[in-house]
Chain A
Amino acid sequence: MNADLISPEPRALIVEDEILIAEELSERLSRLGFAVIAAVDTGEEGIAIATRERPDLVLMDIRLKGEKDGIQAAKDIRQQVDVPIVYVTAYSDRRTVDRAKGTEYDGYLLKPFHRRELESTIEVAMKRHAVRTKEKETAGGGTAEGPTSPS
């Protein structure tokens, strides 16, 4: 990973209802130099923590416990704070991808994933977010958002 990703230690939030997968993600993120602030299994908790803590990265499963699924949670989070969101899901059917496309996110990772897929997806997501932040700054705090799909 890039040096600018590692220092200062970026903070990540994991929203995933499969605890073992959450553990793996948490382990892998720590090895990538992230501080995992929490791993939760409902959309509601995810929204609460993401808006309160403003992490540098959110890994979001689509199927979750609780009322809200990952796509709704991502939408809610991005309405309030601009954080890079990466979907980590086993869903690859058209309907889900279409629904996800309706939200703003920075990466889509299919389960099961490889270490390198996770790394490159997170890297791309963080870069996209950085570019977006820079654009906003140069645009004088304008509200223009970049495209939602990685290009």
Chain B
Amino acid sequence: MDTARARAVLGRTPGLEYREKLGRPAAFCSLSSKQRLCLAIFLERRPMSTPTITPRLLEPFRSAKRQLYAIGIVSALAIGSLIVWPRLSERLLSTDFLPHRYCYLSNPALVWTHVTADLLIGIAYFAISITMAYLVYQGRRDLPFRGLLTAFGLFIIACGATHLVEVVTIWVPVYVLSAAVKVFTAIVSLVTAVVLPFTVPQTLALVQQAKTSAQVTAELRASEERKDALLQEVHHRVKNNLAVICSLFYLQSTHTKDKETVQIFRDMERRVHSMALVHESLSESENVGRIDFAEYASDLVHDILSSHGGPNVQVQLKTKLERVIMSVDSAVLCGLILNELISNALKHAFPDGAGGQVRVTLHSGPEGKCRLCVEDSGVGIPAALDFEASKSMGMRLVRSLTRQIRGSFELLKVDRGTTACLHFTVDRHER
């Protein structure tokens, strides 16, 4: 409460005031139900649901489990064929041919150029396929065309393998292996080539979708900004009108010499003030229509003190306010009650310019039960005062408003001074 104390000392100097306001987080405005409805209608117009993107051919291999199965079956087949045909491996690795370097007439320049180029191509292809594998793995939930990307990756690995085998065949003539790798590459390439055209419409749809979603976001932002501006405008108008009402009270009060009448206008002005102050908290609230009563009450307490204090009144004000979120309607009522209680304390508890202390506490209990107390260290209420029967405007207001918020009120004469407590419950839908 350092700032609050600083403010109590300094009075409401403007610099302090707006700096404090700037310090608070910018108001976040959620969408109204009407806007949400409009958005829903808008989205209905352009379907946003992700189309099924895995091509039909790869449909059976969409789930990771099935992909595992497929790999297992292929490996089993390969191992099986090796067992069934014992000479397959021997044949595959047969070297009954001339190494490729003889074709190059063992020209070192030619041989090494081939070797270097093939090696580089092979390495590059493997590197690309590693990146693609990483991409597919990371984006396994959201990435479209996973099947196609996997096929593409295989295709690239196969291409790389053919180049690496080319390097080997320069010295070791494993042409059967080379042929096998090429056949594998051919199959994978063919599959990729066949699958690719089917994905074109979906790719285009995706691009369109991205564009639409950017558009929707922009429209959403614009509408939010419009709503923000509108809300500020409403707050401004309300505050301005309340300021005009205050001016009216003031101007009227300058036309009378009667102290009691002047006091009546002052009181009215202060009541309107306490209502206007809600809009200060409201325009900074994150939640439309809800405010933190503690924040509002803290502003209000200092506002009331600054409206009362003459230079001869040495009243210390202390606050201990717990966070309570409530609707604006309830906040206005509680604010008006708080205004009366504090004003009462300032007016009656310290006669003849005696100093003292006023403590405002807001306690938030379970199930929305709240207790708002104003304690003063003043002279205490007269023994004869009956709160229920009191005819003063302030007490009447407190009685009526307490009834409206369905709360209860108690006024206690304590050892030193008076304690006034308001008990009320904040409904669940208000919080």
Contact = CB atoms under 8 A, between A and B. Distances in A.
Contact of A108 (B15, B239, B248, B309): B15
A92 B247 contact: no
B14 A150 contact: yes
Interface in B325-374: none
A138 interface: no
Residue among A28, A86, A92 with the highest chain B CB neighbour number at 10 A = A92
Contacts of B17: 108, 110
A17 B17 CA distance: 24
A70 interface: no
A27 B239 CA distance: 21
Interface in B269-326: 269, 272-273, 276, 280, 283, 303, 306-307, 309
B268 interface: no
Contacts of B235: 90, 93
Contacts of A20: 244, 247-248, 251
A79 interface: no
Residue among A23, A113, A124 with the highest chain B CB neighbour number at 10 A = A113
Interface stretch (A5-13, A35-43, A44-52, A114-122): A114-122
Interface stretch (B19-27, B105-113, B381-389, B405-413): B19-27
A151 to B, nearest CB: 6
B280 A110 contact: yes
A34 to B, nearest CB: 16
A102 to B, nearest CB: 14
Contacts of B309: 116
A109 interface: yes
A149 interface: yes
Contact of B240 (A18, A109, A114, A150): A18
Contacts of A24: 246-247, 250-251
Interface string B230-251: 0010011001101111111011
Contact of A116 (B232, B273, B306): B306
Contacts of B307: 114-116
A150 B13 contact: yes
A116 B242 CA distance: 18
Nearest to B12: A117
The A interface is mostly helix, strand or loop, or mixed, namely mixed
Contacts of B240: 18, 63, 90, 111
Nearest to B246: A112
A20 B242 CA distance: 12
Interface in A100-140: 107-117, 120-121, 124
Nearest to A26: B251
The B interface is mostly helix, strand or loop, or mixed, namely helix
Contact of A121 (B13, B19, B232, B276): B13
Nearest to B276: A112
B342 to A, nearest CB: 14
B404 interface: no
B254 interface: yes
B399 to A, nearest CB: 26
Nearest to B232: A93
Contacts of A94: 21-22, 26
Contacts of A86: 14
A109 B140 CA distance: 58
A86 B17 CA distance: 14
Given A21-B247, A92-B283, A112 B13 contact: no
B239 A112 contact: yes
Contacts of B243: 18, 21, 90, 111-113
A23 B236 contact: no
Given A20-B248, A92-B280, A117-B11, A97 B21 contact: yes
Given A20-B251, A24-B247, A113-B243, 19 more contacts: A18-B244, A20-B247, A21-B244, A23-B247, A63-B236, A92-B21, A92-B280, A108-B15, A110-B14, A111-B240, A112-B239, A112-B243, A112-B246, A112-B272, A115-B307, A116-B11, A121-B14, A124-B13, A149-B19
When A and B form their complex, which 3 residue pairs have the shortest distance between CB atoms, in order from nearest? A150-B15, A90-B239, A111-B243
21 contacts: A20-B251, A21-B243, A24-B251, A86-B14, A90-B235, A90-B236, A90-B240, A91-B232, A92-B283, A93-B283, A107-B14, A108-B15, A111-B239, A111-B240, A111-B276, A112-B239, A112-B243, A112-B269, A113-B243, A124-B13, A151-B15
